[in-house]
Structure 1
Amino acid sequence: MSSTAQSTPDSAPPQPQVQPLKHVFKEVDGLQIAFDVYLAPSATKERPSPVLIWWHGGGLLQGSRSSLPPHLLAAPTRHGLTVISADYRLAPQTRLPEIVADCRDALACVLSPSFDSLVTGRVDTSKVFLSGSSAGGWLSLLVSSSLAFEKMGIPLVPGAKEKVRGTIPIYPISDITQPFWRTRQRPVSYLGGRVIDGPRELGEFLDPHAPQVANSAPDSKRSSFYHYMIQEALLEELLLTGTGLKGEDVAIAQGLNEGSITSMPPTLIFHGTADDKVPFSQAQSVADALRARDFHVEFVVEEGKDHLYDQDPKEEMKEMYEFVKRLAG
């Protein structure tokens, strides 16, 4: 079904934020990849909480698990939901198959006995939700659908299809073959006429042979990488060079339309109509394709809102938590 969000009322009273528990779920060539667990204070062994895994945006080129929006930071206290914010390695030093493998491994860790021990049995890992913003929303769709996992050499997570109750992509990238990603924009529309000098401003971050990293700070020079990528139409090159994959192989709507995606958990998509960093059509095409396959999809159209609108402390994302509550039972 489809809905249009209404204007947001005054936000609820601020909620105490839970201090996260850092957990290294993977190590590659000495590089530790971690997620932060924000455990719901109300969770007990007798009444364990559902859990949501969230991946940050940044075009898979920049960003960090520490960039959780306010509504997710409040969710453990306000909604009794355990939130996990997971890092993954960044491109181009790591290509898309390995990035998706990091996300797959974060999910596998959450479904493992070791995670149950970490949270002392207070999380119900039969009630898992996958989410992410922008490129992180794309990752949530890729992991939920297992699209191109076989081509990427990524094993499925045993039991995941039964335990992932829903997917919540927020203004997601979903198809890097669309003209927006393949057409140079000099200058990018939202940078006030500034043209980024990539080699000078980004330096070694452009070098695929530079050391791999699993996050970047907001004040890092890497923080202009996304804008440079749009300016030069580089996303396919940065993510897929040398992998044997084409952009079409990891396009969500195409995978649905062609039958490459054979199952999907219930999906709730958010996107703002004024988004000039990820086109609204990226979400619309996925919603249309899910609907055409008779998969459960709900689409919240945020009229007049831009990218990162959910970073506003007044944004409560009520539809998101109603969706989780309904499907968690």
Structure 2
Amino acid sequence: MSCRDKETRTYKQLSQGAIQADIYYEGSGSPVIVYIHGGALIFGTRAWLPAEQIERYTSAGFSVVNIDYRLAPETKLQDIVQDIQDALAWVRTTALQWYDFDVERLAVIGSSAGGYLSLLSGTWTSKPKAIVSFYGYGDIKGDWYTRPSAFYCSRPTVSRDEAFSHTGDRELTDGPFDRFPFYLYCRQQGTWVREVSGMDPLLRGHAVSAFNPVELITPAYPPALLLHGDQDTDVPCEQSVQMYERLLVKGIPAKLVTIEGAEHAFDNQFDQPVVQQAFDAVIDFLKLHLQSEA
């Protein structure tokens, strides 16, 4: 199955609709990548994964399961996390009736908020075998997310009423970019954690810690590759550096790739040589850590 031959399946049925995944199957026994899109958990869709990236993975022999999930603030972080856990469980069980990929060789890859969810997946009981985070974040309790952002405060102020006018009252899994003002409001106010999780990180820090990867690393954490642009104005590069250093302290095989001069979402500039080199590193990392033990 090539990048042009995707199949779409429902991995979770809700009362208000289905949550779906696109599957790019590369044959019996192939290792599998579960991809999680970004968008601050507020907007975005699986359709954001560029065809060039899908082709890069599938041409290297990896099956890809590209998932949607419910979005905030209509759905809170706890239920979003449950969606990701349910997607991984679906890949490992139900999906096998159609695709006999090797679920013992499963990696999770995500960008931005998807990178955060990917890093969080390494803290669960049922873990992937490897994790790749593109400009993700490991510390949602840090000042960068819980206090007003100087970068976003330089933009015109978004009022609370305007912010919430871009949200709704029913769950959704396909969030258009016109929801961005709600994210901008959260960053200007330093309230992303509270609005997305329903928990105040200052008043319920212990509860938020259950969703904070950097606090949850154990010696059982999977090997991880972190990629980040050093000029990222949305998610500070220090987020990947901090996670990388903590992984090393815990003895986890980890690698950090810093892209000099790169901003957020640098991987969308796929034709750039430095981005091609970054994807070479991703493929090498996946092949190393998803090797067959047969």
Residue 183 of structure 1, CA deviation: 2.0
On the 8 A contact 1:39/1:76 being kept in 2, the answer is no
Q: Pick from 48, 51, 60 the counterpart of residue 79 of structure 1.
A: 60
Secondary structure of 1:214's match?
coil
Which residue type is aligned with residue 212 of structure 2? A
Partner of 1:100: 81
On the 8 A contact 1:58/1:135 being kept in 2, the answer is yes
Structure 1 residues 197 and 295: CA distance shift in structure 2, 3 A: same
Matches within 5 A, 1:87-236: 87-112=68-93, 114-119=94-99, 121=100, 123-146=101-124, 156=125, 160-161=126-127, 164-185=128-149, 188=152, 193-200=155-162, 202-203=164-165, 205=167, 210-218=169-177, 221-236=178-193
Ranges in structure 2 where 5+ consecutive residues have no aligned partner: none
Distance in 2 separating the partners of 1:87 and 1:291: 31
Residue 179 of structure 1, CA deviation: 1.4
Superposed CA deviations along residues 34-53 of structure 1, whole A, max 9, x for unmatched, are 1111223xx2x3xx311100
Which residue type is aligned with residue 188 of structure 1? Y
Distance in 2 separating the partners of 1:186 and 1:169: 25
Secondary structure of 1:188's match?
helix
Superposed CA deviations along residues 189-245 of structure 1, whole A, max 9, x for unmatched, are 6x7x3333452354151x6xx111112134xx2133332321221211112225966
Aligned length: 281
TM-score of the two chains, using structure 2 as the length reference: 0.88
- Higher normalized contact order (CA 8 Å, seq sep 6+, divided by chain length): 1
Partner of 1:239: 196
On the 8 A contact 2:74/2:170 being kept in 1, the answer is yes
State the Cα RMSD in Å.
2.2
Residue 79 of structure 1, CA deviation: 1.1
Superposed CA deviations along residues 54-94 of structure 1, whole A, max 9, x for unmatched, are 11111111111111034422124421211111111111111
Partner of 1:63: 44
On the 8 A contact 1:271/1:302 being kept in 2, the answer is yes
Ranges in structure 1 where 5+ consecutive residues have no aligned partner: 1-15, 147-155
Secondary structure of 2:210's match?
helix
Distance in 1 separating the partners of 2:266 and 2:51: 11
Which residue type is aligned with residue 299 of structure 1? L
Residue 18 of structure 1, CA deviation: 2.5
Which residue type is aligned with residue 196 of structure 1? V
Is residue 38 from structure 1 mapped to residue 24 from structure 2 by the alignment? yes
Distance in 2 separating the partners of 1:289 and 1:283: 10
Distance in 2 separating the partners of 1:251 and 1:201: 25
Superposed CA deviations along residues 154-202 of structure 1, whole A, max 9, x for unmatched, are xx4xxx44xx32111111122122111122247716x7x3333452354
Which residue type is aligned with residue 121 of structure 2? V
Distance in 2 separating the partners of 1:195 and 1:39: 46
Distance in 2 separating the partners of 1:289 and 1:185: 24
